[in-house]
Amino acid sequence: MFFMMGITDGRKDFDFTQTIICNLCGKYGRYQVFMTYTVLSLFLIPCLKWNKHYYVQTSCCHALYELDPEIGKAISHGEPVEIRQEHLTRVNRGGYGSFYGAYKHCQCCGFETAEDFEYCPKCGTRF
């Protein structure tokens, strides 16, 4: 007899939208809510989830916030809630960053890259 099991990380996007005026960039946008977790699977069937964290990302400048777990649970259960600033803890500053890594943006020519360059490969300006 053999067991097939694995531990992986996952992400679940929620069908939740709240329109906002961003405190960081001042643009009109919306909150996009998602949860990250670790899951144990037996025979490819997810059995146990733990290490749940709820996040909010703005659609305008992609600023990332960690959401209060109680508010995140309410959203995951489909309850109508309003996310307020006191429910959020900033994870990154926004701009051209994302949850999985930050992009560099050249102020001179507008070139974007995820590479760890010190100088812009297009115009030579220091990042």
**Which residues neighbour 80 within 8 Å (Cβ) at sequence distance 6 or greater?**
none
pLDDT at 85: 92
Residue 86 DSSP symbol: G
Q: Which helix (H) or strand (E) holds 35?
A: strand 28-42
pLDDT (tens digit per residue) in 11-30: 999 999 899 998 888 889 99
Q: Which helix (H) or strand (E) holds 13?
A: strand 5-21
* Overall pTM surpassing 0.85 (yes/no): no
CB 34 within 8 A of CB 103: no
Per-residue pLDDT of the chain (127 residues; tens, 9 = 90+): 677 888 889 999 999 989 999 888 888 999 999 999 999 998 888 899 999 999 999 998 888 999 999 999 999 999 999 999 999 999 875 554 444 445 677 777 777 776 777 888 888 888 7
Which pair of tokens denotes residue 53?
A: 């964290």
pLDDT at 99: 43
**Which residues neighbour 53 within 8 Å (Cβ) at sequence distance 6 or greater?**
35, 36, 37, 66, 69
